[in-house]
Chain A
Amino acid sequence: MEDQSSWSKGIEPPPLRSAGGSEEGDVGFADKRITATEREEEDVVGGVHGGVLDCFDDDEGADIFTSAVSPSEVKSRISPDVPSLQLGGDSSRSNGMEAQMFDTSPDDADDLFAEATEEVSLESPEMPAVRPSDKAPTITPVSNTAKSVLNPDATNTPAAADQGARKLVSFRKTSEEVEESSGDTFDLHISVTDPEKVGEGMSAYMAYKVNTKTTLAMFSQKNYSVKRRFSDFLGLHEKLTDKHAHVGLIVPPAPEKSVIGMTKVKVGKEDPSSVEFLERRRSALERYLQRTSKHPTLMQDPDFRDFLEKDELPRAVNTQAFSGAGILRMVTKAADAVNKMTIKINESDLWFEEKQQQFDCLDQQLRKLHIGIESLVGHRKELSTSSAAFAKSTAMLGSSEDNTALARALSQLAEVEERVEQLHAEQCDADLYLFGELIADYIRLLSSIKAVFDQRGKCWQRWQDSQSMLLKKREAEAKLQWVNKPDKLQQAKEEIHEWEGKVEQGESEFELISKTIRKELSRFEKNRVKDFKNIIIQYIESLINTQQQLIKYWEAFLPEAKAIA
């Protein structure tokens, strides 16, 4: 059916779409899916799939499906011991829900996902050793909703589907609340403090203290405080990216290297610019860790945990700019840049194209805004220094002045200006750290998102390649049919079978990554809205504070001026 082929190109079919799906089931689904895609923007009614899609698009409901609803994970959810590995802390309620979910139809789930599991094992070959814990982390109480909702689908009756949808709706609200509360009490507070210089000369580096406070069960202690250096952070980012980026997770970007800044620090210059550099870096590292910890999947990654817990980490030499790995990275980046231009997904799902355009636009605009803010910071610094200079010269003028009242007034003016200067310096900090750094973070995040889109493109490419390979093999087989060489024919048939499997794998990978991306993006959007709102409000509050102080200072000065005789 046409519709089915269109699905294979990008709209996510349900994870139930395994090789042996029943005809009836497909037909039934077809109907539902059409309606779902048509009514993508509307509220959840009918088509479960519409529900699932809706959740992705909706701001509020975004985080319901935090983890990829992948067959592997769903399967693991079924195993009874898994729930205990879930988020500790405030999950009693969620645990209850899980139990409820498990009760609905574990058997169906088993049957349905049996084949799917196999596909999964092909999908994540590098993770066999870590599989048990890997599966566990992706679970959040809320995601079970998907499974439970989808399970009724398996029976494929409209009534069941509706019921599932309704469950989803009612769930949405409660799971929202759960998500909100559990989002707040992920209960992992990380701070980065106390940059310390270790060593001397060009081999010196700054060690930062990473403090973790948590009540989560997966950590063995409640408090940690470890020393990390910048390359450790970069190493963590590398590891996380290697593991997760190719399935479409948005890995928060690490702060950038800065040769100039670090050299100044190493050389030992204590000037204000290196102080500022350190502060900027410290807060950037803190934000990086916090953002990573807020991502439900990444937060449970063992490498992340190690980073927070272990006293000693193996030096991430690969992050050095001129190491072998570093150069390899540069080469791959260059190669990628070339390849990127050629991969154009034949998109039938406009959603992705729209999103990419939207993000490109957003990127441009944020960069513009950032330029404005950096300029503001620079000028505010200038205002601060010139106010200080003016204060000094006014004080001098006051001391020359022989009219005592005027002299006093002038020295008061000098004091006012000094305080004003301080005020401006503080405001400057607010400008910079509140506003500017957040925008910079988002610009970097957007490049992470681009990377994720690229991964999807690569995935699609692989799938297409598999398909064309399969075609070739089929042609070869057809040719061999005429030639009558039985052993070669057998080989050809085997190859065809192999490539058919690869095509399927490619397709499901692609679907998986698309789904993951959707989820990630809605989470991103939600956070973005929240972050921006917060930051603007905070910034306005800082401006208000400045104005209030200004009023106070000048009010104090006025009687002095009036007292001049």
Chain B
Amino acid sequence: MQECVDDDDGNNGNGVKTSDEDKVAADRQPLQIDISDALSEKEKVKFTVHTTTTLPHFKKRESSVVRDHEEFTWLHNVYVENKDYAGIIIPPAPPCPDFDTSREKLQQLGEGEATMTKEEFAKMKQELEAEYLAIFKKTVVAHEVFLCRLAEHPVLGMDSNLQVFLEYEQELGVRGKNVKERLGDFLRGFVKTADELLIVGVKDTDDFFEKEKNFILEYHGRVKDSANRADRMTRALKDIAEDYSYISYAFCLLATHETGSLHRFFENASEMFEKYRKLQNRVASDQDLKLSDLLKYYARDTQAAKDLLYRRTRAQLDTDGATKGLERARLRGREIQVAEALQETTFRTFETISSTARKELAEFKQRRVAAFRKNLIETAELEMKHARTSLQVLTNVLANLKER
């Protein structure tokens, strides 16, 4: 597995720099993380996380550990649950590697092996392997991006848990949540959604945050929508590519029973459709990578921003509650100090969150704009490139066929 599973110009495409060129400027970056290797065994994928650092509190300058997806999830949770980071947009956790569709297809292939010719089988196997590899690469990138964002963040990068994650050579012993915990999460999710609705209802006194809140809520819905539809488009393209594969095969069959000029004609047509299909496949996967993935990532990132706003509102409500409590205490004339203390803590929490949130949201915007810019440019360039190649192939074949 290459060092940085990147696209052409070395960026992960989500606003996070992890290229080799940037490593030259490594010394500016105190903490460098990359996934140097990944292994897929049975149900799990194991990532080899490689760290280079100049930070003093790290035991070694360089270290390499093996982590699996669950440990990444654990790390994410640790951050989310840390109250100190309430004002920060926690980078979204990488999605679980999903090889289900691939596995299904592999099974189908195995079952259908008897009915297919050797070439068909070999071809399909090759395609499946390519698909599997593509999904594999994507999941590696997603995990890497997650870690890199953490590392870059001035506050989050300093977290001790991160250090443990990066350095501790043994398994972290984080088991997946058992049923009880998962149920707890589920219920908490409900509460959270109810609270989110609360946020929507509560009008913020601060104009900036009010605007941000509205923006984020609307944006989140729309970006998720876009992500889904982009997915649909990509799937349709892939289906079309498959159809062309079948058509190519049908022409091949036709060719074998023809003689004379029609035979060559059909053969050429068959080859052409095969080539065209490969190109269409590439268009589909590039679209998937540049558009769909971008949108999906930002759907998740926007969710993280939403969570931030939620936490802030929560803190605000807490402060309000504490203030009221203080008033009541003053009225009643007892436990004033306790109430005062509470009010002060909540207020201070609220203030910290607010100020950090402002910065975070501004950065979020920048990040987003940069990522979109990059990906949109790449989308356009790749579409053009593939269209040009297709055009070439088609024109050549046409010239060939016409001269016969």
Contacts and interface: CB of A to CB of B under 8 A. Distances in A.
B341 interface: no
Interface string A533-549: 10011001101100110
Contact of A540 (B215, B233, B253, B398): B398
A438 to B, nearest CB: 13
A400 B215 contact: yes
Contacts of B265: 532-533, 536
A369 B246 CA distance: 8
A155 B365 CA distance: 100
Contacts of B223: 397
Contacts of B390: 543, 547
Nearest to B216: A400
B357 interface: no
Nearest to B237: A383
Contacts of A518: none
A396 B225 contact: yes
Interface in B377-393: 377, 379-381, 383-384, 387-388, 390-391
Contacts of B330: none
B269 A386 contact: no
Nearest to B236: A383
A379 interface: yes
Counting chain A CB atoms within 10 Å of each CB, which of B219, B266, B387 scores highest? B387
A389 B229 CA distance: 7
Counting chain A CB atoms within 10 Å of each CB, which of B215, B240, B257, B388 scores highest? B240
A373 B244 CA distance: 8
Contacts of A529: 260-262
Interface residues of A, number: 56
A402 B369 CA distance: 10
B225 A393 contact: yes
A373 B222 contact: no
Interface stretch (A120-128, A133-141, A360-368): A360-368
B384 A555 contact: yes
A53 to B, nearest CB: 18
B138 to A, nearest CB: 20
B402 A561 contact: no
A63 B230 CA distance: 54
A406 interface: yes
Contacts of B236: 379-380, 382-383, 386
A397 B219 contact: yes
B376 interface: yes
A386 B240 contact: no
Contact of B247 (A372, A394, A554): A372
A144 interface: no
A92 interface: no
B232 A386 contact: yes
A403 B364 CA distance: 12
A396 B240 contact: no
B48 interface: no
Contacts of B225: 393, 396-397
Nearest to A392: B229
Contacts of B372: 406, 409-410, 564
B218 A400 contact: yes
Nearest to A549: B387
Interface in A36-70: 59
A534 B320 CA distance: 78
Contacts of B244: 376
B91 to A, nearest CB: 21
A412 to B, nearest CB: 9
Contacts of A394: 226
B251 interface: yes
Given A383-B240, A397-B226, A540 B401 contact: yes
A224 interface: no
A525 to B, nearest CB: 9
A206 interface: no
A445 interface: no
Given A369-B254, A561-B377, A536 B269 contact: yes
Given A379-B239, A383-B233, A558-B377, A547 B391 contact: yes
A387 B291 CA distance: 13
A369 B247 contact: yes
B397 interface: yes
Interface of A: 59, 358, 361-362, 365-366, 368-369, 371-373, 375-376, 379-380, 382-383, 386-387, 389-390, 393-394, 396-397, 400-403, 405-406, 409-410, 413, 528-529, 532-533, 536-537, 540-541, 543-544, 547-548, 550-551, 554-555, 557-558, 561-562, 564-565
Given A372-B243, A390-B230, 7 more contacts: A389-B229, A389-B232, A394-B226, A400-B218, A403-B369, A555-B384, A561-B376
8 contacts: A380-B240, A387-B233, A396-B226, A397-B225, A533-B262, A533-B401, A558-B384, A564-B369
